[in-house]
Amino acid sequence: MRGDAARGGPSDGAFIELDRVEKVFDVRRRTGFLKRERRRVRAVDDLSFTVARGETVGYIGPNGAGKSTTIKMLTGILTPSGGRLRVAGIEPSRERTRLAQRIGVVFGQRTTLWWDLPLVDSYRLMHRMYRIPDARYRANLDRLVEHLDLGPLLDTPVRQLSLGQRMRGDIAAALLHDPEVLYLDEPTIGLDVISKARVRDFLRELRDERGTTVLLTTHDLQDIEQLCSRVMVIDHGRLMYDGPLAGLHEAGESERILVVDLDRELPPVDAPAPARVVKVEGPRQWLAFPSSVSAAPLVARIAAEYPLVDLSVREPDIEAVIARMYAGQGNRAASRPPTSIA
């Protein structure tokens, strides 16, 4: 089904290319009666990377980092404020319709399906919208229904589907026209463990058997662990890390984070090595320490010496990995450290 001769991409193998891409939003905020404040939000800032055909890349970062903005530019929904962007040799915002034939998108937070129609009717509409040849449509639908276990759901209106069912429905919708690249913006958000596993299994198959290029945004480190060999970390619109999962995995596995709430804003606490403060935000401080070490002595020390109000211990997650990179531990962290992290 793939690989028509007419579908050539750039010859150098870079299927997605960003060169110094920027996206600035002008935001107007009401600050009082008849008072408005204008603010510029630099959602994506000097972002450059390439993704080769067939790669599955994790695209991660904290809330507001610029991930969804990047994906919207890659689909042509948003036009970059600066820089150069190409997908399959196409400039997305200029040739959005032509590009649509070659890409699939799933926004976990928002469905692309018709809310009031039975699932299968959405697929029929896509069949026509994308002008998918009948035989190919039927073959793809059969395959997707089987692999995503959608058979019993086809006649159910989308609004009656559970989140996990709806997500599987959305993934099928994104793939009916055989896109060469699939953007997944938090496809596992809100799913239970079993639904997550099912989605991951399917994506693994897609990658291995069909060679689809996948850009995956998620806050779930396990999604990345199970699907991606390469990870890009973005924060404040900038690329902070681009490399193999191994580096990130190691950093994420080896440390836990103690989050302490003090009764007021204080300079970073004096933590006994190897524990160290990786982030301060008001009265809250984050301390990283090796996973193999007990948190008890560290907690006791801070409780004895500081006005401790509350605490929690977090297992490694993406945010912790990122915090650790900022602390200068990540060997590929970009040169400019973000200013909001102490």
Ligand X SMILES: Nc1ncnc2c1ncn2[C@@H]1O[C@H](COP(=O)(O)OP(=O)(O)OP(=O)(O)O)[C@@H](O)[C@H]1O
Structure tokens at 264: 């007021």
Comparing CA positions, the residue from 289, 282, 231, 291 lying closest to residue 261 is 282
When binding is defined by CB under 6 A, the residue of 18, 45, 55, 66 that contacts ligand X is: 66
β-sheet bridge partners, residue 35: 32
Element (H, E) at 226: helix 221-227
Which of Mg ion, ligand X, none lies near 287, with the C-beta cut-off 5 to 8 A by kind?
A: none
Select from 11, 31, 63, 335 the one that contacts ligand X (CB under 6 A). Answer: 63
Tell the smallest beta-carbon distance from residue 108 to Mg ion (Å): 9
How many binding residues for ligand X (CB under 6 A)?
12
Minimal distance, residue 12 CB to ligand X, in Å? 28
Q: How many other C-beta atoms can be found within 10 angstroms of the C-beta atom of residue 323?
A: 24
Residue (70 or 122) nearer to ligand X, CB: 70
- Partner interacting with residue 80 (select from Mg ion, ligand X, none; CB below 5-8 Å by kind): none
The residue among 25 and 115 lying less far from ligand X, judged by its C-beta, is 25
Query: Tokens 């948003």 — which residue?
Result: 78
Q: What angle do CA 246, 319, 303 make, to 5 degrees?
A: 115
Q: Which stretch binds ligand X (CB under 6 A): 62-70, 158-166, 310-318, 326-334?
A: 62-70
Beta carbon of residue 105, minimum distance to ligand X (angstroms, whole number):
13
Q: Does 231 bind ligand X (CB under 6 A)?
A: no
Query: Coil, strand, or helix at residue 52?
Result: strand
Binding flag, residue 65, ligand X (CB under 6 A): yes
188 is an interface residue for ligand X by CB under 6 A: no
Rule CB under 6 A: is residue 43 a binding residue for ligand X? yes
| Under rule CB under 6 A, residue 69 binds ligand X | yes
What is the footprint of Mg ion within residues 15-74 (CB under 5 A)?
67-68
Q: How many residues does the chain have?
A: 342
**Is 340 exposed, middle or buried, given 0-12, 13-18 or 19+ CB atoms closer than 10 A?**
exposed
Q: What share of the chain is helix, strand, coil (3-state, %, to 5)?
A: 35, 30, 35
Burial class of residue 274, CB neighbours in 10 A (0-12, 13-18, 19+): exposed
Please identify, using beta-carbon distances, which residue of 65 and 260 lies nearer to ligand X: 65
The 249-288 site mask, x for binding Mg ion (CB under 5 A), equals ----------------------------------------
Would you say 22 and 80 are in contact if contact means Cβ atoms under 8 Å apart? yes
Query: What DSSP string describes 321-336?
Result: HHHHHHTT--TT--SS
Nearer to Mg ion, 153 or 167 (CB): 167
- Structure token pair of residue 254: 């080896």
CA nearest neighbour of 23 among 4, 41, 5 = 41
Selected binder of ligand X within 15, 17, 47, 61 (CB under 6 A): 61
Task: Tokens for 231, please give them.
Answer: 């990870």
Shortest distance, CB of residue 31 to ligand X, whole angstroms? Answer: 16
Q: Which residues bind Mg ion (CB under 5 A)?
A: 67-68
Q: Which residues bind ligand X (CB under 6 A)?
A: 25, 27, 41, 43, 61, 63-69
